[in-house]
């Protein structure tokens, strides 16, 4: 039950209260084949965990740092690229913060992957791990 709440939160409070993650806010542009949301110059596709989001709504996208991949997965995925602002070796991973078009994105990078500060870095997030939540009006 706690794992389900963490992986598929039902509201912004739970998403930010339980664990680490990136919260991106934008406008829902389509509901065909999942939720499509525009965040600045980026379009993300993901799942509506509440089944209440409509086209034109303001929404938030929640992405957990451990769900990113540095290699393009076989399953449908969003692609984010940004400048590495900082990197901190934690042990089993390196915690990296990217600036993606002005959005701060927290990513756990596996050992052996180089993410130099100031360099460009690309990550992928499967649609199934890109959780969309309605923003409270």
Strand spans (E) along the chain = 22-30, 35-39, 42-48, 58-63, 77-89, 94-100, 103-109, 120-126, 131-134
CATH number at residue 53: 2.40.50.140
User: Nearest to residue 33, comparing CAs of 131, 127, 135?
Assistant: 127
In 31-65, which positions are buried (b, 16+ CB within 10 angstroms) versus exposed (e)? eeebbbbebeebebbbbbbeeebeeebebbbbbbb
Q: Which two tokens stand for residue 110?
A: 């596996």
**Residuewise pLDDT in 10s, the chain (137 residues):** 688 888 888 888 888 888 899 999 999 999 998 999 999 999 999 999 899 999 999 999 999 999 999 999 999 999 999 999 999 999 999 999 999 999 999 999 998 999 999 999 999 999 999 999 999 76
* Residue 137 confidence (pLDDT): 60
* Domain limits for position 78: 2-134
CA–CA separation, 64 and 93 (whole Å): 14
Domain count, the chain: 1
CA–CA separation, 32 and 39 (whole Å): 17
> Is the alpha carbon torsion for 76, 81, 86, 91 positive or negative?
positive
């Amino acid at each position: 039950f706690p794992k389900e709440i963490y992986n598929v939160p039902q509201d912004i409070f739970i998403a930010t209260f339980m664990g680490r993650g990136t919260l991106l806010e934008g406008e829902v542009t389509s509901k065909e084949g999942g939720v499509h949301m525009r965040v600045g110059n980026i379009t993300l596709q993901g799942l509506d965990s509440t089944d209440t989001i409509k086209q034109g709504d303001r929404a938030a996208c929640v992405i957990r740092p451990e769900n990113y991949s540095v290699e393009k997965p076989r399953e449908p995925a969003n692609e984010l690229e940004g400048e590495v602002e900082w990197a901190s070796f934690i042990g089993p991973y390196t915690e990296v913060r990217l600036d993606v078009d002005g959005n701060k994105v927290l990513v756990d990078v596996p050992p052996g992957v180089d993410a130099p500060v100031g360099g460009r870095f690309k990550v992928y997030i499967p649609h199934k791990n890109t959780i969309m939540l309605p923003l409270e009006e």
